[in-house]
Each structure stands twice: as C-alpha cells, then as structure tokens.
C-alpha cells in the first residue's frame, strides 16, 4: 500500500501538515527516461536553447507569482493562423502580496516574440487568466478574476482585443459581485461557435466576505455561464449545471474543473478530493447538458463530518479535450484520502500517489485505467525519492507526485498528453525532488499509449518546470508554455526560498522528434532490458567508490560523471565486462566535494544515478 504524508485538508489552497508517516509508492513504468549530460543549471536570464533543428525553448515572460493554478491547468497558449502564437499567465512585477498581479501576455508574430516582461494587460489586480481566440470575430479574449482591495472577489475581468498580437486591450468587469454576493473566481472558458462557455467557482467566506454563496444547497458551488457574441449578451450567468446539487455535492473548490469545445460540442469535467469525478457534455453549444459520473466518491455530498475510510479519489487536477468526433478524452491525477476526525472540516490526504488516469466517453465506465506516472528512471524497481520529497515547502497545494495532466489532439487524431511529476535524478541540496514536464501519446484514440518522455530534463539540473499548458491547435509541432524556477514548491511564509522572479517559458516540440524519442537529446527512449545499475557504494565516498551492475550479456560500457552544471568531469570505458553481477570501480579523488550524476552507457542504453563526494 503506497502511503504518503498525512495532510489535513481545509481548502484547495492551504493544506496543513499533521503527521510524518511516509513510505514510498511502488508504481513502476516500463519506459524510462535518462537525464541529459548537456543540461545546465538555469535560473533567471534564460534566453533560448535549441534541441535539434525544430525543437527549442525560449523565455517569453516573467512573474514573481508562482501560483498559476490551485489544481487544474488553464488554457494558456494558442497557435493561431500563419504560425502566430499567443500566450498568457499570471504575472506580477512584485512579490507577496503581489499588488501588481494581473494577466501577462506575449505574442509570436511568426518571426519573433515580444519582449519578455512582467507587465499586465489590465488596470485591475487580477489573476488566473484563461486565453481563447474567437476566429469568427478575429478576437483574442483573456478572462481573469478580480480581487478587490477589501479582499472581496469582484467578479471576472474580461479583456478583449481585435486582431492578434500588439494592440489595445479593452477590459470590463463581468459576472460581477453585488453588495451581498461576492463574484466568481478561477474562470475557465471555451469558444463554441457564437458562444463563450465558462465554468468557475464562488470563493468561500472570510472575515471580509461573510456572505457565503449557496445554490442548490451547495456551498460556494461551481457555476457555468454562457455568453453570445452576436448579441453581446450573457444568456446564462453563474448557474448550476444539471445534476450539480446537494444530493452529490457539499461545496465547490478552486480549479477542480476543465472545459473544452469543438464545434457545437462542449465538455466540462469536475473533480476534487472529496467529490465525484463527473463529465458534463453538450452538443448544442452549451444550451443543454447531460451528466456522467466517471468515478463516484464513496460518501455523496461529503461534509467533512462523516468517517471516510482510506479511499482512492482525484487530486482536483483534471482535464478534458474533445476530438473531431465529439468524443471526450478525460484525464485526472489519482489521490487518496482518509477522515477519522469528526471535530473539524478537514480531511487527511496522501500526496504520495503516482498515477495519471484516462477514460473516454466512447468506452465503458470500467475501462478507465492508469496510463502514466513518475518514471523509474534507473529501472531499479522503485521510485528514488529524496528524504524531504513531500515536505510542505516542496508541494503545490494538494497535488500528487504525478499531477496536472493536459492534452491536445492533432489533425491525425494523435492524442498528446503532458503532466507534471517529480524526477529521480534531479534533487536539491536540501533533499527534495525537482519537477519536470513529461509527455506520452496515443495514435489510436487512446487505446494504447507510448512510453513516457521527460521533455524538459534537457533544460537544466536544479530547475523546476511546472504548470505546463498545450496549444489545442498544432502544425506538426506541439506548442507548450510552463513556469520555470530555480526553487522547489510554491512560495509561502514556510517556503521563503521560493521567492523571486520566475520565467515563463515557451517550448516547441516537433512531433517527429517526439515519435523518435529525440526531445531528451539522447536519441530514442527505450526500455533498458540489457543491464541494471545500482547505487554506488560507499555513498557518500571520498572519491573511491564502486558501481554495482548486472549485464545480461558480455559487453563494453562507459561510465561518465557530470556535475550539477552538466559539465563532464570524468569518463572511463570498461571493456570485456562479463555477463551477470559485476562491479565498476571508480577513482574520483580529484573531484571537489559535492553532488554528481554518474551514467553507465552500453549497447545504446544509458542509466544514471546520483552520488555524493565528501
């Protein structure tokens, strides 16, 4: 049974730790990713780095605010006509409490991006932007929620701009607050013909916001809205979807939902630690809806005051994308919860879950399955997690080890899925695993899936890539944005080291490079079935150390050692190695004390682990 650290859950933003019980999850995947020897430590100041002729990454923005979502990833990037691209993110030119927070924006005009900055497009203080493009009106639209200086949610700021690229944004407050009802937050949107469909959530009460919103018996519920472009009218404003009521739901939550549209088909998926995972679909641009419960929570309308035995659920990071046939492809991150305390509104959860699940609505409900997770890089049958991997300062709210799935489908029907996970081979000096962005794909509509590729490992050791979003449209390449930082975890008073200016990155991945396993810069990603590599011993060492190996056949192998800047500091070739268990002795006495990565390469395969020299 894979257990993680108990954390008392009060809301989606501020978990409180309550206990130290930890054991490592035992999930294992058959395709493993190797670290790149050309990676370099990267903080701010990143400009551009290329991988091959068609895949590259570049910095397009900055922010001091590293909370880009509470759970689900927003639509933050879109490939447009003529190879142009637009992107948004939550920006802030200052630190907490982020007085200058707003929607960052940058545009690629087919030749170059605009200057990377932390400038926002609105005059209001906003956050959590969502980008859509309306091809009918040739209009870019960014929606972001407004929090007033009093602390009250002030509704959604809708910023619109005719044309793409440089121009003037016109902002207005919509779905706004009243003297007695606060506004909605965390809005995600999709365009379906003449309509903008939106899903958001009311915030909970506070000392400045005492009027808790209750609809259909649900406290602070998820609500949807429907706007018609041609009449400039909100036809539906902050209403409940059918079947979203107090029979199944007690309260809503921030960002526990995702929305997509393809033609007149619209899909919304909702989840949460103590909620059903459910899908709503519409075939008439959001006028009518049908609901399917994909995975039911064992206690309907859970009110935090009922005993809940250890139960699998989702961590609120969910995603849905529609293909051209209107099939909804649903993804979510597994979570586990337990509640044995009836005295308060809290629930214990286990962050050590390592599974991205998938289901499509053209298959039976019982066909949902695990398709991805944090890979076992060195193929030793376990996840090598640092001692402090699940410290409160290392985590992002209530996310699991593998989380934040986001998918897109190309014109050939290939489904590409990215997700966030910890990495075995990139560990901080205070014993926490950095996060990277991983990718897999399906060429047969989700029936089978490829191996997992780490697509950001080549950008540097001791850097964290998080909050990755894909463009729905492709051109033989995937267009992705993410936040890159030199620290682990979200900034808080208990994690002050995460403060600073972070980079908003844009990355292009050529699909031919993906299919060929070239994004890591190490050639094809293949399962190493020819040999295994153990942890060196002693470790730490004074430089004289031994690497245990097991080869299935006699071979020649090369050992290389790189420092945390990716610089090769040692190389040795061992010839005529016999099959079976063996040892590769190293004399590294000339190296300075520190942390290094050693790699064993033979017959086209490479396996790596970390070592410490004292």
Instruction: Profile the chain (614 residues) by mean pLDDT over runs of 10 residues.
Output: 34 26 26 25 54 82 96 98 96 94 97 95 96 97 89 90 96 85 93 98 72 89 97 96 96 95 98 96 98 96 85 96 98 93 80 96 95 87 88 90 98 97 87 94 96 88 93 96 95 90 96 81 47 88 93 92 83 93 93 88 78 89
326 alpha carbon, distance to own chain's centre: 25
Q: Before 97, cis peptide (omega within 30)?
A: yes
- Residues 175/200, Cβ–Cβ less than 8 Å: yes
pLDDT at 284: 98
- Residues 301/246, Cβ–Cβ less than 8 Å: yes
Phi, psi of 76 (to 5 degrees): -120, -5
User: Per-residue b/e over 457-494, b at no fewer than 16 CB within 10 Å?
Assistant: bbbbbbbbbbbbbbbbbbeebbbbbbbbbbbbbbbeee
CA distances from residue 91 to 5, 69, 117, 322, 480 in whole angstroms, order as listed: 31, 12, 9, 29, 17
pLDDT at 208: 63
Helix (H) or strand (E) holding 487: none
Closest CA to 66 of 480, 423, 485, 420: 485
In whole angstroms, what is the distance from residue 209 CA to residue 198 CA?
23
In whole angstroms, what is the distance from residue 67 CA to residue 26 CA?
29
In whole angstroms, what is the distance from residue 295 CA to residue 312 CA?
10
Helix (H) or strand (E) holding 566: none
Phi, psi of 610 (to 5 degrees): -100, 155
pLDDT at 27: 27
Q: What is the dihedral of CA 166, 172, 176, 179, to 10 degrees?
A: 140
Q: What would the two tokens of residue 335 be?
A: 């979570």
Give the side-chain half-sphere CA count within 13 A for 581.
Answer: 3
- Residues 488/498, Cβ–Cβ less than 8 Å: yes
In whole angstroms, what is the distance from residue 30 CA to residue 13 CA?
34
Q: Before 538, cis peptide (omega within 30)?
A: yes
* pLDDT tens by residue, 529-553: 678 888 899 999 999 999 999 998 8
- Residues 550/582, Cβ–Cβ less than 8 Å: yes
CA distances from residue 395 to 18, 174, 303, 420, 422 in whole angstroms, order as listed: 15, 33, 25, 12, 10
Residues 6+ apart with CB under 8 A from 493: none
* Secondary structure of residue 393 in the 3-state scheme: helix
In whole angstroms, what is the distance from residue 153 CA to residue 208 CA?
10
Closest CA to 599 of 2, 81, 35: 35
How long is the chain?
614
Q: What would the two tokens of residue 297 be?
A: 């929570």
pLDDT at 510: 93
List the beta bridge partners of residue 466.
Answer: 483
What pTM was computed for the model?
Answer: 0.83
3-state SS of 496-563 is: HHHCCCEEEEEEEEEHHHHHCCCCCCCCCCCCCCCEEECCCECCCECCEEEEEEEECCCEEEEEEEEE
In whole angstroms, what is the distance from residue 192 CA to residue 283 CA?
10
What residue ranges define each of the domains in the chain, with the CATH number in brackets? 7-515 (2.130.10.10), 531-613 (2.60.40.3080)
Q: What is the dihedral of CA 39, 498, 438, 112, to 10 degrees?
A: -70
* pLDDT tens by residue, 216-273: 999 999 999 999 999 999 999 999 999 999 999 999 998 999 999 999 999 999 999 9
Residues 6+ apart with CB under 8 A from 311: 297, 298, 336, 337, 338
Residues 6+ apart with CB under 8 A from 470: 77, 406, 407, 408, 416, 418, 478, 479, 480
């Amino acid at each position: 049974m894979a257990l993680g650290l108990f954390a008392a859950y009060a809301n989606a933003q501020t978990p409180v730790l309550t206990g130290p019980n930890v054991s490592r999850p035992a999930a294992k995947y058959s395709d493993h990713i190797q670290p790149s020897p050309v990676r370099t430590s990267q903080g701010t100041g990143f400009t551009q780095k290329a991988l091959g002729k068609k895949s590259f990454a570049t910095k397009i923005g900055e922010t001091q605010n590293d909370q880009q979502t509470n759970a689900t990833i927003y639509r933050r990037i879109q490939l447009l006509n003529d190879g142009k691209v637009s992107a948004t993110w939550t920006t802030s030119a200052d630190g907490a409490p982020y007085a200058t927070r707003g929607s960052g924006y940058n545009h690629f005009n087919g030749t170059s991006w605009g200057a990377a900055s932390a400038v926002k497009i609105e005059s209001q203080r906003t956050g959590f932007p969502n980008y859509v493009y309306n091809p009918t009106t040739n209009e870019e639209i960014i929606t972001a929620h407004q929090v007033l200086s009093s602390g009250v949610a002030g509704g959604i700021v809708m910023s619109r701009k005719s044309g793409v690229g440089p121009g003037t944004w016109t902002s207005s407050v919509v779905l706004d607050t009243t003297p007695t009802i606060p506004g909605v937050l965390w809005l995600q949107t999709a365009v379906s013909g003449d309509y903008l469909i939106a899903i958001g959530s009311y915030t909970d009460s506070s000392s400045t916001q005492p009027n808790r919103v209750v609809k259909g018996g649900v406290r602070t519920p998820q609500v949807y809205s429907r706007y018609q472009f041609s009449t400039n009218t909100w036809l539906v404003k902050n209403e409940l979807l059918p079947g979203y009521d107090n029979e199944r739901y007690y309260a809503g939550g921030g960002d526990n939902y995702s929305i997509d549209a393809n033609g007149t088909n619209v899909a919304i998926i909702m989840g949460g630690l103590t909620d059903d995972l459910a899908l709503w679909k519409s075939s008439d641009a959001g006028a009518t809806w049908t609901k399917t419960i994909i995975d039911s929570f064992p206690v309907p309308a859970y009110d935090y005051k009922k005993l809940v035995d250890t139960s699998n659920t989702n961590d609120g990071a969910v995603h849905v994308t529609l293909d051209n046939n209107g099939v909804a492809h649903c993804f979510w991150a597994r979570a586990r919860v337990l509640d044995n305390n009836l005295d308060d509104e809290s629930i214990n959860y286990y962050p050590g879950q390592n599974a991205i699940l998938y289901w499509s609505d053209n298959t039976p409900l019982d066909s949902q399955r695990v398709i991805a997770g944090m890979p076992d890089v060195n193929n030793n049958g376990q996840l090598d997690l640092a001692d402090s991997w699940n410290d409160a300062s290392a985590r992002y709210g209530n996310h699991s080890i593998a989380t934040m799935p986001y998918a897109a489908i190309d014109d050939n029907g290939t489904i590409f899925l990215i997700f966030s996970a910890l990495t075995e081979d990139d560990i901080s000096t205070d014993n926490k695993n950095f996060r990277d962005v991983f990718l897999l794909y399906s060429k047969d509509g989700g029936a089978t899936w490829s191996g997992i590729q780490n697509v950001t490992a080549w950008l540097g050791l001791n850097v964290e890539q998080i909050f990755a979003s894909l463009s729905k449209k492709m051109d033989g390449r995937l267009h992705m944005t993410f936040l890159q930082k030199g620290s682990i975890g979200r900034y808080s008073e208990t994690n002050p080291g995460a403060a600073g200016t972070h980079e908003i990155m844009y990355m292009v991945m050529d699909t031919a490079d993906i299919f060929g396993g070239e994004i890591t810069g190490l050639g094809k990603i293949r399962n190493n079935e020819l040999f295994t590599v153990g942890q060196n011993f002693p470790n730490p060492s004074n430089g004289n150390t031994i690497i245990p190996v097991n080869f299935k056949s006699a071979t020649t192998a090369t050992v290389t050692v790189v420092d945390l800047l990716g610089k090769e500091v040692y190389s040795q070739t061992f010839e005529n190695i016999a099959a079976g268990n063996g040892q590769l002795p190293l004399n590294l006495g000339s190296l300075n004390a520190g942390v290094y990565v050693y790699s064993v390469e033979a017959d086209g395969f490479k396996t790596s682990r970390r070592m410490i020299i004292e």
